[in-house]
Structure 1
Amino acid sequence: MNSKTQAHMESLSSSIKLPSDILAGAPILTMTGQTELCIENYKGIIEYTGDLLRIQTKIGRIHIIGKNLIIRYYTEDEMKVSGWIEHIDYCC
């Protein structure tokens, strides 16, 4: 996103009281403990095994590493993952 677009998003977000990352479509990760993860605003699944989930977002890739990872459900823009989540990496 260029600086002019970024400035416009920040101005718009402050006027309607929304965080700029939501308007920009940034991924939103919500973790419950170490065993459940909800991911919003993703573009696609790149790789999925019981130990690794790689997803594409508008800002880059996210890698979820753990044990017994299971995608409980996924829709066009949200998914829920369960299992033992060891760490999450953000890759550009």
Structure 2
Amino acid sequence: MARGSPPARAARLLGRLAGSMEMPRDVMLDAPRVTVIGALQAYVENHKGILEYTPSRVRVRTRDGLVTVTGSRLKIGRLFREELVIDGRVDRVELEPAEAPGSGEPRS
């Protein structure tokens, strides 16, 4: 019986490797990291592109799904290849998990 898809097995192996090497898992797994500074700023690391940008909502693609920042007067403060700073009034940050290909189920 299969124990998961090859990408899922690879992710588990990398997770165990990161733990044994005492490295942060987000570094080894390219996982998104979102840091919110009060209600003033959201810092998104390991993003894969901006999908939507309005003064009230910013949607960002990551390996694990979509990160949505909602608020008011939102603007892109800085944008780098894998880092993004969103300035303005940050009211909410949500992660919508990516679906596993062809399954309609969230990827694990």
TM-score (norm 1): 0.91
Which residue does 2:32 correspond to in 1? Answer: 27
Matches within 5 A, 1:32-71: 32-71=37-76
Distance 2:26 2:41 in 1: 22
Flag structure 1 segments of 5+ consecutive residues without an equivalent: none
Gaps of 5+ in 2: 1-6, 98-108
| Structure number with larger C-alpha Rg | 2
Distance 2:94 2:15 in 1: 26
User: Is 1:88 aligned to 2:81, yes or no?
Assistant: no
Quote the offset at 1:11 in angstroms.
2.5
User: More strand by proportion, 1 or 2?
Assistant: 1
Aligned positions, number: 91
Among 71, 77, 80, the alignment partner of 1:75 is 80
What's 1:16 paired with? Answer: 21
CA distance in 1 between counterparts of 2:73 and 2:34 reads: 19
Further displaced range: 19-28 or 31-40: 19-28
CA displacement at 1:32 relative to structure 2: 1.0
- Percent of pairs identical after alignment? 26
Runs of 4+ in 1 over 4 A off after TM superposition: none
Higher relative contact order (CA closer than 8 Å, sequence separation 6+): 1
